[in-house]
Chain A
Protein backbone atom coordinates (compact mmCIF):
# COMPACT_ATOMS: atom_id res chain seq x y z
CA UNK A 1 0.00 0.00 0.00
CA UNK A 2 1.22 3.48 -0.82
CA UNK A 3 1.57 5.61 2.19
CA UNK A 4 2.03 9.11 3.56
CA UNK A 5 3.06 8.97 7.20
CA UNK A 6 2.91 11.87 9.61
CA UNK A 7 5.10 11.45 12.66
CA UNK A 8 2.67 12.58 15.35
CA UNK A 9 -1.11 12.22 15.49
CA UNK A 10 -1.52 14.50 18.51
CA UNK A 11 0.75 17.18 19.95
CA UNK A 12 0.34 19.68 22.76
CA UNK A 13 2.81 22.58 22.85
CA UNK A 14 3.15 25.86 24.69
CA UNK A 15 3.13 29.31 23.17
CA UNK A 16 6.60 30.24 21.91
CA UNK A 17 7.84 26.67 21.50
CA UNK A 18 9.40 25.51 18.26
CA UNK A 19 7.38 22.72 16.67
CA UNK A 20 8.41 20.22 14.01
CA UNK A 21 5.85 18.21 12.05
CA UNK A 22 7.37 15.46 9.95
CA UNK A 23 5.93 13.80 6.87
CA UNK A 24 7.34 10.88 4.89
CA UNK A 25 6.00 9.34 1.66
CA UNK A 26 7.07 6.03 0.16
CA UNK A 27 5.75 6.56 -3.38
CA UNK A 28 8.74 8.43 -4.86
CA UNK A 29 6.46 11.42 -5.46
CA UNK A 30 7.87 14.72 -6.67
CA UNK A 31 5.33 17.00 -5.01
CA UNK A 32 4.60 17.41 -1.33
CA UNK A 33 2.18 19.75 0.40
CA UNK A 34 1.27 20.96 3.86
CA UNK A 35 -2.32 22.04 4.54
CA UNK A 36 -4.11 23.07 7.67
CA UNK A 37 -7.72 22.06 8.22
CA UNK A 38 -10.07 24.19 10.31
CA UNK A 39 -13.85 23.84 10.75
CA UNK A 40 -15.75 25.98 8.27
CA UNK A 41 -12.59 26.91 6.38
CA UNK A 42 -11.75 23.63 4.69
CA UNK A 43 -8.12 23.01 3.75
CA UNK A 44 -5.74 25.89 3.27
CA UNK A 45 -2.33 25.46 1.70
CA UNK A 46 0.63 26.52 3.82
CA UNK A 47 3.65 25.49 1.73
CA UNK A 48 4.45 23.07 -1.04
CA UNK A 49 7.51 21.62 -2.71
CA UNK A 50 8.09 20.31 -6.22
CA UNK A 51 11.60 19.04 -5.66
CA UNK A 52 14.29 18.47 -3.08
CA UNK A 53 15.42 21.73 -1.48
CA UNK A 54 12.69 23.59 -3.35
CA UNK A 55 9.74 25.25 -1.62
CA UNK A 56 6.97 27.66 -2.52
CA UNK A 57 4.59 29.59 -0.33
CA UNK A 58 0.96 28.64 -0.34
CA UNK A 59 -1.95 30.80 0.75
CA UNK A 60 -1.13 31.12 4.46
CA UNK A 61 2.65 30.78 4.96
CA UNK A 62 3.01 33.34 7.75
CA UNK A 63 4.39 31.82 10.92
CA UNK A 64 5.55 28.65 9.17
CA UNK A 65 8.61 27.38 7.36
CA UNK A 66 9.41 24.07 5.66
CA UNK A 67 12.35 21.86 4.86
CA UNK A 68 12.81 19.28 2.13
CA UNK A 69 16.30 17.83 2.33
CA UNK A 70 15.29 14.44 0.91
CA UNK A 71 12.69 13.58 -1.69
CA UNK A 72 10.61 11.45 0.64
CA UNK A 73 10.52 13.84 3.61
CA UNK A 74 8.81 17.22 4.00
CA UNK A 75 8.89 18.95 7.37
CA UNK A 76 6.71 21.80 8.60
CA UNK A 77 8.25 24.09 11.22
CA UNK A 78 6.53 26.51 13.55
CA UNK A 79 9.37 28.73 14.75
CA UNK A 80 7.39 30.14 17.68
CA UNK A 81 4.03 28.50 18.14
CA UNK A 82 0.99 30.65 18.85
CA UNK A 83 -2.52 29.74 19.96
CA UNK A 84 -3.96 30.60 16.53
CA UNK A 85 -1.88 27.79 15.09
CA UNK A 86 -3.95 25.23 16.97
CA UNK A 87 -5.28 23.14 14.11
CA UNK A 88 -5.22 19.87 12.20
CA UNK A 89 -2.23 19.70 9.85
CA UNK A 90 -2.38 17.49 6.79
CA UNK A 91 0.54 16.42 4.63
CA UNK A 92 -0.02 15.25 1.07
CA UNK A 93 2.00 14.15 -1.94
CA UNK A 94 1.41 13.76 -5.66
CA UNK A 95 3.30 12.17 -8.49
CA UNK A 96 4.72 14.98 -10.65
CA UNK A 97 4.22 18.54 -11.75
CA UNK A 98 1.82 17.64 -14.55
CA UNK A 99 -0.24 15.45 -12.27
CA UNK A 100 -3.98 15.74 -12.64
CA UNK A 101 -4.50 16.60 -9.01
CA UNK A 102 -4.71 13.28 -7.19
CA UNK A 103 -3.21 13.91 -3.79
CA UNK A 104 -2.37 11.20 -1.25
CA UNK A 105 -2.87 12.37 2.31
CA UNK A 106 -1.49 11.38 5.66
CA UNK A 107 -3.81 10.88 8.62
CA UNK A 108 -3.13 14.31 10.02
CA UNK A 109 -1.43 15.82 13.06
CA UNK A 110 -3.67 17.58 15.54
CA UNK A 111 -1.70 20.36 17.22
CA UNK A 112 -2.89 22.19 20.31
CA UNK A 113 -0.97 25.29 21.39
CA UNK A 114 -1.64 26.38 24.98
Chain B
Protein backbone atom coordinates (compact mmCIF):
# COMPACT_ATOMS: atom_id res chain seq x y z
CA UNK B 1 0.00 0.00 0.00
CA UNK B 2 0.92 3.65 0.12
CA UNK B 3 2.33 4.56 3.51
CA UNK B 4 5.07 6.26 5.49
CA UNK B 5 6.91 4.42 8.26
CA UNK B 6 9.12 6.02 10.89
CA UNK B 7 11.31 4.53 13.55
CA UNK B 8 9.60 4.20 16.87
CA UNK B 9 10.41 6.57 19.66
CA UNK B 10 11.05 8.06 21.99
CA UNK B 11 14.59 8.81 21.00
CA UNK B 12 16.61 10.17 23.92
CA UNK B 13 19.96 11.84 23.30
CA UNK B 14 22.43 13.99 25.14
CA UNK B 15 23.11 17.49 23.88
CA UNK B 16 25.57 17.61 20.94
CA UNK B 17 24.90 13.98 20.00
CA UNK B 18 24.29 12.91 16.41
CA UNK B 19 20.68 12.33 15.43
CA UNK B 20 19.14 9.99 12.88
CA UNK B 21 15.41 9.40 12.57
CA UNK B 22 14.61 6.79 9.93
CA UNK B 23 11.76 7.17 7.47
CA UNK B 24 10.78 4.90 4.61
CA UNK B 25 7.86 5.18 2.25
CA UNK B 26 5.91 3.12 -0.22
CA UNK B 27 4.36 4.76 -3.25
CA UNK B 28 3.94 4.54 -6.97
CA UNK B 29 6.30 6.98 -8.63
CA UNK B 30 8.42 9.55 -6.85
CA UNK B 31 6.37 11.71 -4.54
CA UNK B 32 7.63 14.84 -2.80
CA UNK B 33 8.83 14.10 0.74
CA UNK B 34 8.70 16.22 3.87
CA UNK B 35 9.74 16.44 7.50
CA UNK B 36 7.45 18.36 9.83
CA UNK B 37 8.24 19.21 13.46
CA UNK B 38 5.84 19.75 16.36
CA UNK B 39 7.29 21.57 19.35
CA UNK B 40 5.50 21.13 22.70
CA UNK B 41 2.14 22.85 22.76
CA UNK B 42 2.33 23.93 19.14
CA UNK B 43 1.02 22.85 15.76
CA UNK B 44 3.16 21.19 13.14
CA UNK B 45 5.47 23.26 10.97
CA UNK B 46 7.44 22.35 7.88
CA UNK B 47 11.09 21.59 8.67
CA UNK B 48 12.40 20.61 5.24
CA UNK B 49 11.37 18.98 1.99
CA UNK B 50 12.71 17.30 -1.16
CA UNK B 51 10.80 17.13 -4.40
CA UNK B 52 12.82 14.67 -6.48
CA UNK B 53 15.25 11.80 -6.15
CA UNK B 54 18.71 12.66 -4.78
CA UNK B 55 17.52 16.06 -3.57
CA UNK B 56 18.73 17.08 -0.13
CA UNK B 57 16.47 19.19 2.04
CA UNK B 58 18.04 21.18 4.86
CA UNK B 59 17.01 23.65 7.55
CA UNK B 60 18.15 24.60 11.07
CA UNK B 61 21.05 22.13 10.86
CA UNK B 62 18.78 19.23 9.89
CA UNK B 63 19.21 17.38 6.62
CA UNK B 64 17.43 14.62 4.74
CA UNK B 65 18.26 13.08 1.36
CA UNK B 66 15.65 11.59 -0.97
CA UNK B 67 16.92 8.07 -1.76
CA UNK B 68 14.78 6.36 -4.37
CA UNK B 69 16.86 3.16 -4.29
CA UNK B 70 16.01 2.54 -0.66
CA UNK B 71 12.73 4.55 -0.67
CA UNK B 72 14.01 6.43 2.35
CA UNK B 73 14.19 9.99 3.64
CA UNK B 74 16.09 9.77 6.92
CA UNK B 75 16.42 12.90 9.05
CA UNK B 76 19.87 13.75 10.43
CA UNK B 77 21.48 16.42 12.55
CA UNK B 78 25.13 16.51 13.53
CA UNK B 79 24.73 18.07 16.98
CA UNK B 80 21.34 18.26 18.68
CA UNK B 81 20.31 20.87 21.22
CA UNK B 82 17.79 20.76 24.04
CA UNK B 83 15.59 23.08 21.95
CA UNK B 84 15.31 20.34 19.29
CA UNK B 85 13.14 18.29 21.65
CA UNK B 86 9.92 17.79 19.71
CA UNK B 87 7.90 15.28 17.71
CA UNK B 88 9.10 14.77 14.13
CA UNK B 89 6.81 13.61 11.34
CA UNK B 90 7.85 12.27 7.98
CA UNK B 91 5.31 12.74 5.19
CA UNK B 92 4.82 12.27 1.50
CA UNK B 93 2.45 13.88 -0.92
CA UNK B 94 -0.32 11.82 -2.40
CA UNK B 95 -1.00 12.35 -6.08
CA UNK B 96 -4.19 11.41 -7.80
CA UNK B 97 -7.14 12.83 -9.65
CA UNK B 98 -8.76 14.31 -6.58
CA UNK B 99 -5.99 14.14 -4.05
CA UNK B 100 -3.42 16.61 -5.27
CA UNK B 101 -1.76 18.31 -2.35
CA UNK B 102 -2.89 15.80 0.24
CA UNK B 103 -0.18 14.57 2.63
CA UNK B 104 0.25 11.14 4.19
CA UNK B 105 2.06 11.26 7.53
CA UNK B 106 4.11 8.74 9.45
CA UNK B 107 3.31 7.99 13.07
CA UNK B 108 5.76 10.56 14.47
CA UNK B 109 8.97 10.14 16.46
CA UNK B 110 9.47 11.89 19.79
CA UNK B 111 12.95 13.28 20.37
CA UNK B 112 14.09 14.17 23.87
CA UNK B 113 17.43 15.94 24.23
CA UNK B 114 18.94 16.11 27.70
CA UNK B 115 21.46 18.75 28.77
Contact residues of A with B, CB < 8 Å?
4, 31, 33, 35, 37, 40-45, 48, 50, 56, 58, 90, 92, 94, 96-108
Instruction: Evaluate contact between A94 and B43: CB separation under 8 angstroms.
Output: no
- Count of chain B residues with Cβ under 8 Å from any Cβ of A? 25
Contact residues of B with A, CB < 8 Å?
4, 6, 32, 34, 36, 41-46, 49, 51, 89, 91, 93, 98, 100-103, 105-108
B41 CB contacts on chain A under 8 angstroms: 107
Instruction: Evaluate contact between B51 and A100: CB separation under 8 angstroms.
Output: yes
Instruction: Evaluate contact between B34 and A42: CB separation under 8 angstroms.
Output: no
A108 CB contacts on chain B under 8 angstroms: 43
Contacts A42-B107, A90-B43, A98-B101 aside, 14 further interface pairs with beta carbons under 8 A come to: A4-B43, A35-B105, A37-B108, A43-B89, A44-B105, A45-B102, A45-B103, A97-B101, A100-B32, A101-B34, A102-B49, A103-B46, A105-B45, A107-B43
